[in-house]
């Protein structure tokens, strides 16, 4: 049985970013940039006004600091998207609108609500400094500078910045394709009638959802019976079109737990089998060339926890997020925590930010086969081997998964992103 932290290390070392490809800007949300992007020009490309007002030479307003104001002659109007064909002369001003280019001869802008106009005369009541209220060319992005770094996740801001530089397509890492195979003759697909001794294949749907939330593309490849040859053939076939293959069930040490032998027969190279953690102890991880195989427990909660610990980081790294880490925070126990044991344990929990700290409480039942508990959870409490019990108010470590449990009302009712300084 391998140590939990050693198992994480092995998975991170085995996972490699996938190949790069060029995709349309409008399709790049959620992908990871595979090459640094260098700006083609300054952004903004010219000095512009940040609001509706009047542009003028700041030196002309110097007398306004000691007198009743300065009058300037309004000689034109510059809407956004148009330019002035002539430079302003001393004593002149021009009406300017948000985003419009500041004309030559002007080096300051006054907001329209801070000045008064009578006929074609602008009355400025105070002195303005050179450059005041002007968005300078290159203030956002300098020309010829890297503005997006390889390995960054492309969100709305990143796509907007790329668009401001005129990029119509972006180089990104390919998202992992994840094949999901279910083993076990007792499983029935949702929609079919249950036979004697059968249960519905809930793990398939849990894993498909987890893969999508993690940024991968799930492909369900069916249910396989507990027959060694057919399991091995199914695993080999799945690798033909997938970067990661997941199986559920049949991974322990019983007479019908054939996945370890089937994975070996399929040509995988074992990384580890059985991890010193609960739930999810029977986990198997192996390599198929540069592709990854994970044999997950058939118990629903154990399957989900093992995915979060091992498959999730593999997916993130293969997507290009090579520095991705689990989000650990310090929290205090809201109630006494009596659980303890000789192995690392992950307990489903409800964690909120309350009175300047994270507070975590256990969520209902803690059993490998009880998935419904995780419907009320938004995090995992980590109990190290030999740790516990804990009284209320003691410090513990917790893993947060906002991208997985972000729709949980407990996240929606607390300022989850405020305490970033507490994340360790």
pLDDT in tens, 254-265: 666 899 999 999
pLDDT at 10 over 90: yes
At residue 175's C-alpha, the angle toward residues 172 and 177, to 5°, is 155
pLDDT for 406 equals 62
pLDDT at 409 over 50: no
Task: Please report, for the chain, the start and end positions of each structural domain, with discontinuous segments joined by +.
Answer: 4-18+175-318, 20-41+142-173, 53-124, 327-422
Q: Which residues contact 196 (CB under 8 A, 6 or more apart)?
A: none
Q: Residues 341, 385: contact at Cβ < 8 Å?
A: yes
| 60, two tokens | 């002309």
Question: pLDDT-derived band of residue 219, with 50, 70 and 90 as boundaries?
Answer: very high
Closest CA to 101 of 135, 130, 128: 135
Q: Would you tell me how many other CB atoms lie within 10 Å of the CB of residue 83?
A: 11
| Bridge partners, 397 (sequence order) | 330, 382
Distance CA 127, CA 58 (A): 7
Please write the tens of the pLDDT for every residue from 77-121: 999 999 887 899 999 999 999 999 999 999 999 999 999 999 899
Decide yes or no: CATH 3.90.105.10 for domain 20-41+142-173: yes
At residue 35's C-alpha, the angle toward residues 31 and 36, to 5°, is 110
pLDDT for 414 equals 44
H-run or E-run covering 403: helix 402-405
| 34, two tokens | 């595979």
Average pLDDT over residues 345-351: 90
Position with higher pLDDT, 419 vs 36: 36
pLDDT for 212 equals 95
pLDDT for 304 equals 92
pLDDT for 404 equals 83
Q: What average pLDDT is seen over the chain?
A: 89
Distance CA 200, CA 248 (A): 13
pLDDT for 224 equals 86
Q: Would you tell me how many other CB atoms lie within 10 Å of the CB of residue 203?
A: 26
pLDDT for 423 equals 40
Closest CA to 18 of 30, 36, 34, 37: 34
pLDDT for 368 equals 64
High-pLDDT (> 70) share of the chain, %: 92
Distance CA 129, CA 297 (A): 69
Instruction: Please give the model's pTM, rounded to 2 decimal places.
Output: 0.84
Distance CA 248, CA 114 (A): 68
Same fold yes or no, 20-41+142-173 and 53-124: no
Average pLDDT over residues 339-366: 85
For the domain made up of 327-422, give the CATH fold.
Beta-clip (2.40.340)
Among the ranges given (57-71, 102-116, 167-181, 284-298), the one the predictor scored with the smallest mean pLDDT: 57-71
Please give the class, per CATH, of domain 4-18+175-318: alpha beta
The CATH superfamily holding the domain 53-124 is Molybdopterin biosynthesis moea protein, domain 3. (2.170.190.11)
pLDDT at 417 over 50: no
Question: pLDDT-derived band of residue 152, with 50, 70 and 90 as boundaries?
Answer: very high
| 33, two tokens | 């940039």
Average pLDDT over residues 26-32: 96
pLDDT for 137 equals 94
pLDDT for 411 equals 46
Closest CA to 294 of 286, 305, 282, 304: 286
Distance CA 72, CA 382 (A): 70
pLDDT at 349 over 80: yes
């Amino acid at each position: 049985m391998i140590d939990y932290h050693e198992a994480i290390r092995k998975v991170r070392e085995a996972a490699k970013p996938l190949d790069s490809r060029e995709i349309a800007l409008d399709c790049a949300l959620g992908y990871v940039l595979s090459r640094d992007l260098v700006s083609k020009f300054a952004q903004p490309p010219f000095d512009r006004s940040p609001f509706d007002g009047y542009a003028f030479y700041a030196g002309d307003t110097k007398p306004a600091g000691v007198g009743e104001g300065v009058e300037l002659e309004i000689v034109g109007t510059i809407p956004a998207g148009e330019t002035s064909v002539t430079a302003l002369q001393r004593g002149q001003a021009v009406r300017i609108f948000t985003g419009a280019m500041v004309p030559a001869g002007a080096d300051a802008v006054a907001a329209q609500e801070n000045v008064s106009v009578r006929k074609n005369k602008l009355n400025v009541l105070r002195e303005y400094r050179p450059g005041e209220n002007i968005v300078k060319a290159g203030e956002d992005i300098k020309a010829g500078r890297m503005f997006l770094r390889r390995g960054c996740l492309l969100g709305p801001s990143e796509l907007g910045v790329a668009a401001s530089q005129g990029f119509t397509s972006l180089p990104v890492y390919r998202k992992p394709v994840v094949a999901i195979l279910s083993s076990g003759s007792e499983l029935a697909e949702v929609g079919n009638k249950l036979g004697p001794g059968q249960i519905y294949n809930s793990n398939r749907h849990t894993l498909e959802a987890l893969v999508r939330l993690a940024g991968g593309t799930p492909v369900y490849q069916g249910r396989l019976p507990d027959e060694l040859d057919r399991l091995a053939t199914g695993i080999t076939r799945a690798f033909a079109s997938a970067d990661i293959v997941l199986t559920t069930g049949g991974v322990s040490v019983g007479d019908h737990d054939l996945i370890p032998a089937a994975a070996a027969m399929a040509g995988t190279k074992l990384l580890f089998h059985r991890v010193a953690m609960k739930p999810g102890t029977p986990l198997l991880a192996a390599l198929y060339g540069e592709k990854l195989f994970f044999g997950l427990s058939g118990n629903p909660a154990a399957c989900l926890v093992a995915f979060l610990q091992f498959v999730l980081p593999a997916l993130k790294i293969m997507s290009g997020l090579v520095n991705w880490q689990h989000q650990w925070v310090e929290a205090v126990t809201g109630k006494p925590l009596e659980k303890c044991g000789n192995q690392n344990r992950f307990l489903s929990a409800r964690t909120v930010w309350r009175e300047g700290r994270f507070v975590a409480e256990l969520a209902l039942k803690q059993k490998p086969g009880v998935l419904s508990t995780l419907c009320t959870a938004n995090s995992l409490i980590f109990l190290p081997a030999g740790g516990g019990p804990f009284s209320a108010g003691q410090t513990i470590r917790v893993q947060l998964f906002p991208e997985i449990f972000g729709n949980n009302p407990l996240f929606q009712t607390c300022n989850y992103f405020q305490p970033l300084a507490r994340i360790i």
